[in-house]
Structure 1
């Protein structure tokens, strides 16, 4: 990117790249978990990205149970708004701490989610609406220069999640965040076509378990899917302890694993 393009871009920073249990898993002494405990190459907090753009304020996608440590690592003392993909604990477990921050600072946060996701959150945390304003997504959002479309995607045995597509129509740019999905239908795949950047969840390199017991694509399935979707670049996140970042994997061109702290300009 030129300096002018960078000034107009949004920086996506990966604060977390792990699956629902993170790495290391507390019960596990596999080589990946042991390495994560020592040198930390494979240490992964629950998946979350930060969008750095002056038009957006401090904006995150999801707010999992590692949120406090992730905020501290980023040196941030304020969070303006989040987008929520779904109401599983690894994606909303930090909401209570965020609400407490809002209470003490007197600055209410904004959480955008589909109405069914908001209902689930308020059922689990019935008091949380005093400090966080929940805004239902009932059509496209406009956040700064980005039009944001949200749609339901299959999450396998875990039901469903939502994905987000960001489109800068004036500049002809688009990218999407789809962290928890598997066996997407043709309709669900359409918004993921021909992106500048796709962020996709892949928990295993080749998951050995029956399809009906699974909830997220593996890397080999993602590679086949990308031949159809044709994004310019892809970043794989939501990784379990099956993925060893010390290894060389036969990834397609323009595909890479997310690293904690990685920044991508779009």
Structure 2
């Protein structure tokens, strides 16, 4: 399977509109983009494409990456930077299954699948929404997929595991999450050929968050920024624990210092990997 990182940024992306910080200036000068999060997975055998999360930057991402439109889609949670690009399917595709978690979220009194059905009712003749229980495998585009619960309060959030049943290649995506992922979820995410890990900021900026950092490592460095996202240090610690063969850090904010913002293993839009 071919994995293309369509969007590697956080909710505002980099460069951020109206921002003249060193990181945003550097991105503009170097022609680098980190648009809102989305991942394209292409199964060459079937010539079918699976899209993980529907970025508001859907149109520009597909034009820039020149990848096929999705045959099926996955939505990990209902924050706008992961869901609101779904409306782009209107007039572009027909009969696209959308897979979403089935568990009812106490914060919304409905599942992610329910939210998609109600919010995008005008697409009901173009998509079919399929509610999927956590950890239970299902097939999408000839690949085996599982939703993996993570921690992204106040909403329920999910990572995704995608495996090729023919080659045993494995892609693990943490989704938006703190470092406080359960052991069961860690086990499901473990041993990937490629790990895409949420790493919104370096640990050094946790002091600027209203509640600081959490999940400190042995050296006292926070692995969670606030309560919703991992720090770079947290994501790298998780990658080591999961025994990831390769790791790319995603969902990156422009709050990284300019001299660190484009260093390895922080991803940028357009990267592609063959698994």
For 1:70 and 1:225, the matched residues in 2 are separated by: 28
In the other structure, the counterpart of 1:132 is 127
2:59 is paired with a residue whose SS is: helix
**Structure 2 equivalent of residue 153 of structure 1:** 150
Structure 1 residue 244 displacement after superposition = 5.5
Matched, 1:39 2:30: yes
In 2: Cα distance, 1:158 partner to 1:44 partner: 25
Cα offset, 1:237, TM superposition: 0.7
Which of the numbers 210, 229, 239 marks the counterpart of 1:226? 239
Which structure carries more helix by proportion?
1
1:56·1:143 contact (CA, 8 Å) conserved in 2?
no
Cα 1:34/1:108, change in 2 over 3 Å:
same
Aligned pair 1:114/2:101, yes or no?
yes
The number of equivalent residue pairs is 247
SS at match of 1:93: helix
Q: Distance in 1 between matches of 2:24 and 2:263?
A: 22
The residue correspondences of 1:24-103 to structure 2 (distance < 5 A) are: 24-41=15-32, 43-54=33-44, 55=46, 57-75=48-66, 78-102=69-93
What TM-score, normalized by structure 2, do the two folds share? 0.81
Shift of 1:123: 2.8
Gaps of 5+ in 2: 103-110, 215-225
**Residue matched to 2:200:** 203
Aligned to 2:184: 187
CA RMSD after TM alignment:
2.4
Deviation of 1:71 (Å): 1.6
Structure-2 separation of matches of 1:69 and 1:23: 14
* Runs of at least 5 residues in structure 1 that lack an aligned partner in the other structure: 1-9
